[in-house]
Structure 1
Amino acid sequence: MTRTIRRAPAGLLGTCAVAVAVIGLLAGCAGTPSGAAVVGSWGSTAAKQPNLTIENDGAFSGTDGCNRLTGRGSIDGDSITFGPIASTMMACTGVDEWLGKAVTGTAKGSTLVVYDLSGNQIGTLDKK
């Protein structure tokens, strides 16, 4: 019995590798939650400025400009409902500690609008 081995043209192999890579990337994106609008880094890293990083699973961490903040919330569409916020308790002067009072946040374009328990807007953070 004689075997015949056929080889694909060299250019075709490169094309197939690219197609497989693209399909892999697209498959990875398929698992991104609908809350991707709130996921990411928000605010400023400048001294005494608030910032917040929100993960796909709702975990968040950051600072109110003085105290470290951390917790886990739930993401729904372009909004997050913050769970209990754990915070350090340092005494700070010249810092508005509004971020520690966050209850919900909604991504509106490149701005995260943050609300308190009464539904009042207490601040905004720009996407980094």
Structure 2
Amino acid sequence: MRIVLLAISGMFLAACSTSVAGSWNAAEPAGAHIELSNDGSVAGSDGCNQFSGSWHKDGSTITFSSIVQTEMYCDGVNDWLTQLHAATVTDSTMTVFNEAGENIGELKR
């Protein structure tokens, strides 16, 4: 019984530590998304430009760093997602903040 409980506890802790990894999509603009990999890398698109970098989770806050991006001109595309600096996750919603700490948008699983 003790071995089973330890195994279940270990699976639960592993799931919690990587629960934010995966695909997150914005409602607007079309094609805006980010992909958080378990290795700490992030990649995505604002619907026009591509970006990549790294991410780290500390408690309930995700911090993005070393973000690089393409700089193509795309008429009418809202580039809010390329301003990401930090985020929090509640259930299936990721709230994204810019460097000033302002809420700039949301992504869904």
TM-score with structure 2 setting the length:
0.79
Pairing 1:103–2:85 present: yes
**Are the equivalent residues in 2 in contact too, given 1:38–1:54 (CA < 8 A)?**
yes
Q: How does 1:53-92 map to 2 (within 5 A)?
A: 53-92=35-74
Identity of aligned residues (%): 35
2:18 pairs with 28, 31, 36, which one? 36
Paired residues in the alignment total: 105
Alpha-carbon separation, structure 2, partners of 1:44 and 1:102: 13
CA displacement at 1:48 relative to structure 2:
3.6
Alpha-carbon separation, structure 1, partners of 2:69 and 2:19: 25
* Superposition CA RMSD, Å: 2.8
**Are the equivalent residues in 2 in contact too, given 1:45–1:51 (CA < 8 A)?**
no
* Structure 2 segments unaligned to the other structure (5+ residues): none
Partner of 1:116: 98
Cα shift readout 1:75-118 (whole Å, capped 9, x = no counterpart): 22333100021101110012100111111011111110000111
Alpha-carbon separation, structure 2, partners of 1:31 and 1:111: 21
Aligned residue for 1:74, secondary structure, equals strand
Alpha-carbon separation, structure 2, partners of 1:47 and 1:105: 18
Indicate the structure with greater helix content: 1
* Structure 1 segments unaligned to the other structure (5+ residues): 1-21
